[in-house]
Structure 1
Amino acid sequence: MFKGPLAGRYPVVSAMVVFALVPYLALSAALGPITPIIADDLDMSLRTLNVTTGLANAGYAVGTILAVQFAQHLPQRRMLIIYGSLLVIGSVLTASAVNAGIFVVGHIVQGLCTSLLLIAAVPPLITGYPQARLRETVVILNMCIFGAVALGPVFAGIQANSNGWRPLFWVVAGIATAALVLSVLTFEYTPPASKGTSIDFVALGLASVGCVAGFFGASQLLTHSFSEVRAWAPLIGGLLLIVILFIHEYTAKHPLLCVRSLFSTFPVAGIVAAMCAAAASVSATLLTSTVLAERMSPLRLGLLYLPEVGGAVIAAVAFGRVFRTRLLHFYVLGGLTFLSVGIAVMNAAEPPTAPLIAVGSGLVGVGVGSSVVPALFIAGFSLRSNQVQRVFGIVELMRAVAAFMIGPILMYIATTAESNLVSGTRDALWICFGLGVAGAVLGAALYVVGGVRHPPKPSVQGWMSGEQPGWDSPPLFAGLTRSEGGNEKDANC
């Protein structure tokens, strides 16, 4: 059986993961300043482009569930090459688009394939190498997701300053091509995770329809009133379907996702923290960049968010130091605190000023880098490592919904709640601040009512072996009900 010449070499495999994740994640944060340029060049309306972005984000969210299902029945590394090939095709279509239709198709494929690659490539990087490599992996993972997002506004400012957009998209296509080449060079056969299990068509249907409807409705709020049926009906209907998805997975005998196993103190607290941090950070950047867009050049505006990259680097390095210790729990709480303070600094003046945005973005970078991925590990350590792919799918789905769906809703509030955009943005930023605080308070409260007096240190070695969780997570509200024992670990996965 074919085996790539660089198979098993950690530096190359980790580089492949970086190149696979960076393109779309950077674009997702870079589109704002260059949206009018793309619309004008391709003769697209801003409404069509907003819907395209919404559907691409929906594809990202749906892909997290599709990837988990495909991994159960199909050779995972072969699928990785297929996903990478599709990402290259989508990226080339988008960069070379001569009309709106080609751009729409290409960008949606980019969103879908990025999450397929994320779920297929990252868990093996975490569990497929010796324990000594795990520290490097967590730093790389943190930088992949948030370093790329933080760099998005900078890249957008550089590109918008030259009044173009295609060079950025061609660079993205080149990085996607490098990821595909590396996935071939590092190929080694990986069997399906659980070939004999049934396909969860209900979960796939609910996730697909729910995400597409929800993100479509959210994108409509950028150009329509919430009172219009085309906006509120798909948004609310989509969110209800996503809720039904988790109820179905909790009650199903053979679920695709390990919802019931995650229904205990540590995972729920971690997921709440990740969702609040993602929603607050992405929305704060979107709001402040929009309100300042008319006051300064795209390049200067993009550079104001460069400290966020530095903050993300600091957070990633620090995470590599603490993830094996009991400080991991407090690290997430500290991250949400930094995030909330950063948003408050951004919102300290009306309108926001350049120095405050620069300082605030640095604090936000530290905060989001110290909260989302660390919270993911708090959830992941609560199950055995051979279930990390399913855990990652759940957390990324919920993070995507929080990060990409809340932003348009808060933009709608900013443009309609007050008489002018500056005052409306100030109100919306206070909501972002509230989300950050809520994540910290709710997470800490769940620990208290869960009876957690001394947060445990994860047993990384036992977790890496796949034989046991990293720790026993107390049942929800165990401190109130005096129940004993850990969660229902992997019984229904």
Structure 2
Amino acid sequence: MRSSSPRSGFPSPRLFSRVPLAGRYPAAVALSLLALSPYLILTTATTLMKPQITREIGATPFELQLTSGMSNAAYAFGAVAAADLVQRVARRHLYLLCEAGFVVSSVLALSAPGIGLFATGVVLQGLCTGMLLVCALPPLVTGHPIGRLRTTAAVVSLGLFGMVAFGPLVGGLVGSLGGWRPLFAGLATLAAIGLTVGALAFEGNEPPAPRAKFDWLAIPLALGTTTLPFFGVAWLTRGSFSDPEFSVPVVCGLVCGVFLVGGQYKKTEPLMPVRPISNTLPVVGTLNAMLVGASFTTLLELTEAYLTREAHYTPLRVGTLVTPQIAGVFVAAVLFRRLMATRWTPYLALSGTLSVSIGAAVLLAVSTKNASALVPVAALFLGFGAGAGVTPGLFLAGFSVPSAQIGPTFALVELLRSEAAFLIGPVLLHLALTTGLAEGFHLAVVITLTVTVVGVLLLIVLYLLGGARPQPPDLESWLSGRSTAYHSPALLAGLRKP
């Protein structure tokens, strides 16, 4: 059985005494950022480095795209797998194992003479980081006094999207100046530092359910939900929308996702708390995170492709032009720190979606003549949108379940967000390339903008029909395990009233 006690997984005093920096908030922040940052930087840095990597290891574009897709799939799957493993394995042990695994996988990738070893290393990087997300973030959120929660919220925002926003600049530097192997060596070094900090600071705990059975429903379905669609979209690098190699894996993977969520909703003791987050606030927050994540990733990929292939900018110039997104993410993190404990969090999440829409509208006016002036403006709005839209949505879901379930909740939301973000982008990019970038870029941006605006309107309607009213979260009760922080009305509750 899975433990649902609010004190599940709390530090063991015996283990606590052996960890010299246990309970130190700065150390907890450091180990969380070091766990997530290396891979998240790589997710957006790779695009601008692809030509160089392709030449040096003799890979085809399809092989490199498949490697990237399977790595993203491994990240999403790893979060779900970790949610299962932390029931039986101490978080500290799993953290140290995954951080060491990231070091080894980085060494495999940087030393690879060909695509086989490189792909193995990069996919393992994604798997380890997905597991680290569930190992490292929940203790940072729930294991410190309530006064730290606002800062923690900002740290999570910077950790998730600040590093993603920093990736293109790193990729541009490497793509123009060379040195992708030293970059992987640097990532391995960061992970080694994270391993050291974790050994000194990560508190030990007794597993909450050491005899819990393997979830034969959730884990295989999560594997199919991630790997099948990501293979399908990677196929577009060498095929077309009409190929069964594209359509069959994507459809089968989405069906697996439906059965995964539906099965977890019906289970009395689910791995991931689907039923508790099926109310208005967490549903709106999760859908908002999915919408913003997908729009941001798609627009970034489209912009990089347009500037590289149509405007013929160097990778460094492209990375520099989109760098203002870092400032946008930072502003969003600061705002979330101020607003997290107030009733304004849903509005901040909505402002993120609106900001992404503004960024898309600016990109509609981009041409090869004015890209240097307009792309930084669009990047600023996109960065703010990503920071303000995703992390508040994540916390709207996390605060709607007991604090002991925040890890599985983060795993579920990240699975859904990753599914949306890394599926839609490659599809619209393929559409733009096959149409011709001069026209295809703007067509794909129009589609993304339309989906985002329609999505905003639907989320507002869903929020209003739920009868939700702005409310500050009850953080004290949530941290103590007495209740959830949000008491959200049921989905579409307004329509159910007599």
TM-score scaled by length of structure 1: 0.95
Name the residue aligned to 1:51. Answer: 66
Q: 1:131–1:464: 8 Å Cα contact kept in structure 2?
A: yes
Residues 371-382 of structure 1 correspond to what in structure 2 (within 5 A)?
371-382=389-400
Q: For residues 237 and 497 of structure 2, what CA distance do their matches in structure 1 show?
A: 48
**Residues 227 and 253 of structure 2 are in contact (CA less than 8 Å); yes or no, is this contact kept in structure 1?**
yes
Q: From 450, 455, 465, give the equivalent of 2:466.
A: 450
2:176 partner letter:
N
Which consecutive residues of structure 2, in runs of 5 or more, have no partner in the other structure?
Answer: 1-13
8 A contact 1:29–1:150 mirrored in 2: yes
CA distance in 1, matches of 2:495, 2:439: 43
Structure 2: distance between partners of 1:349 and 1:161: 23
Say what the alpha-carbon RMSD is for the aligned residues: 1.3
Can you list the C-alpha shifts for 1:377-396, whole angstroms capped at 9, x where unaligned? 11111111111111111101
Aligned partners of 1:97 and 1:434: how far apart in 2? 42
2:451 is matched with which residue: 420, 423, 435? 435
**Contact 1:341-1:363 within 8 A present in 2 as well:** yes
Distance 1:476 1:187, change over 3 A: closer
**1:355 equivalent among 354, 370, 373:** 373
State the shift of 1:193 in Å: 2.8
Answering whether residue 416 of structure 2 is matched by residue 398 of structure 1, we say yes
Deviations 1:34-76 (A, max 9, x none): 1111111011111111111111111001001101000111111
Superposed counterparts of 1:175-214, under 5 Å = 175-214=190-229
1:286 matched to 2:301? The reply is: yes
- Total equivalences in the alignment: 480
The equivalent position to 2:492 in structure 1, one of 477, 485, 488, is 477
Match of 1:389 in 2: 407
Query: Residue 191 of structure 1: CA displacement?
Result: 1.5
- Contact kept, 8 Å, 2:279 with 2:490, in 1: the verdict is yes
Say which is worse superposed, 188-197 or 77-86, in terms of deviation. Answer: 188-197
Partner of 2:4: none
Q: CA deviation at 1:440?
A: 2.1
Q: Measure the CA separation in 1 of the matches of 2:445 and 2:72.
A: 22
Letter in 1 for 2:451: L
1:422 and 2:438 correspond = yes
Amino acid paired to 2:404: N
In 2, Cα distance between equivalents of 1:427 and 1:99? 36
Which residue in the other structure is 1:333 paired with? 350
Name 2:145's counterpart in structure 1: 130
Shift of residue 262, structure 1, vs aligned partner: 1.1
Q: Does residue 219 of the first structure (1) align with residue 242 of the second (2)?
A: no
Q: Which residue number corresponds to residue 426 of structure 2?
A: 408
Distance of 2:132 and 2:78 partners within structure 1? 9
- CA–CA distance in structure 2, aligned partners of residues 209 and 138 of structure 1: 31
> Structure 1 residue 196: deviation in Å?
4.1
1:488 is aligned to none
Distance 1:42 1:413 in 2: 28
Q: In 2, distance between residues paired with 1:148 and 1:91?
A: 18
Secondary structure in structure 1 of the residue aligned to 2:192: helix
What one-letter code is carried by the residue in structure 2 that aligns with 1:23? P
Deviation at 1:254, TM superposition (A): 2.2
The answer for the alignment partner of 1:489 in structure 2 is none
Matches within 5 A, 1:35-74: 35-74=50-89
What is the CA-CA distance between 1:403 and the residue it aligns to?
A: 1.4
Amino acid at match of 2:392: P
Structure-2 separation of matches of 1:400 and 1:310: 23
Using the TM superposition, give the Cα deviation of residue 243 of structure 1 relative to its aligned residue in structure 2, in angstroms: 1.3
Q: Which residue of 1 aligns with 2:5?
A: none
